[in-house]
Amino acid sequence: MSSERGKDIAEGPSRVNPGDQQLPPTPSRYESQKRRDWNTFGQYLKNQRPPVPLSQCNCNHVLDFLRYLDQFGKTKVHLQGCMFYGQPEPPAPCTCPLRQAWGSLDALIGRLRAAYEENGGSPETNPFASGAIRVYLREVRECQAKARGIPYKKKKKKPHQGKGGITCEKESNGREYNMIKSIEDSAQFGGFGLLY
């Protein structure tokens, strides 16, 4: 599944097709968000001591970046000792930390992975495509699913929604589709809002 997604992204930014009048002239939400994320990541690398040149950026920098973002998270993830651990709707507040929801991180990585190659990075060295990132995201997903009592599984689509059930101006674009899916997921779990 991830290899399929990689294929979409590897096709690169060449989406300008003169004969295709479906594309809007203004950048899509996805494109602007991707640009913002890319700038944020670039700034993060610059702020390291010593600063990390993009050419030397590896998956460890990306993992550190994801952990760094947790301080801006809005999703309550209960610690194992919390009495609300595993409860989807706790009846009272608790002091457990707020984190980035898994869906937000997953969508972010997808955008940065595309941005890296659109900004001249080679697919072979793309740190966002690293297996370590996939492993990390899977761990976050499992940990959050247990702590919040919410399984991160695909919900069965209602019949009337049909294939995919998502209206999207660029349904032919795999990345856009992935992005919308991820946003749906993260919005559903209350964690959307990364980097705003």
Comparing C-alpha atoms, which of 31, 34, 9, 23 is closest to residue 112? Answer: 34
Q: Does 132 interact with Zn ion (rule: CB under 5 A)?
A: no
The count of residues in the chain is: 196
Q: Which residue from 2, 27, 60, 94 is in contact with Zn ion, where contact means CB under 5 A?
A: 94
CB closer to Zn ion out of 23 and 79? 79
Please, what is the minimum distance in Å from the beta carbon of residue 103 to Zn ion?
A: 20
Q: Is 84 in the site for Zn ion (CB under 5 A)?
A: yes
What's at 96, amino acid-wise? Answer: C
79, 147 in Cβ contact below 8 A? yes
For position 96 contacting Zn ion by CB under 5 A, the verdict is: yes
Q: How far is the CB of 90 from Zn ion (least distance, A)?
A: 7
Q: What is the rounded CA–CA span in Å between residue 192 and residue 185?
A: 9
Among 78, 99, 175, 181, binds Zn ion (CB under 5 A): 78
Rank residues 34 and 78 by Cβ distance to Zn ion and give the closer one: 78
Residue 76 Cβ, how far from Zn ion at the closest point, in Å?
6
How many Å apart are CA 68 and CA 81, to the nearest integer?
23
Q: CB burial class (10 A; 0-12, 13-18, 19+) of residue 77?
A: buried
CB-wise, 97 or 165, nearer to Zn ion? 97
Chain residues binding Zn ion by CB under 5 A are 78, 82, 84, 94, 96
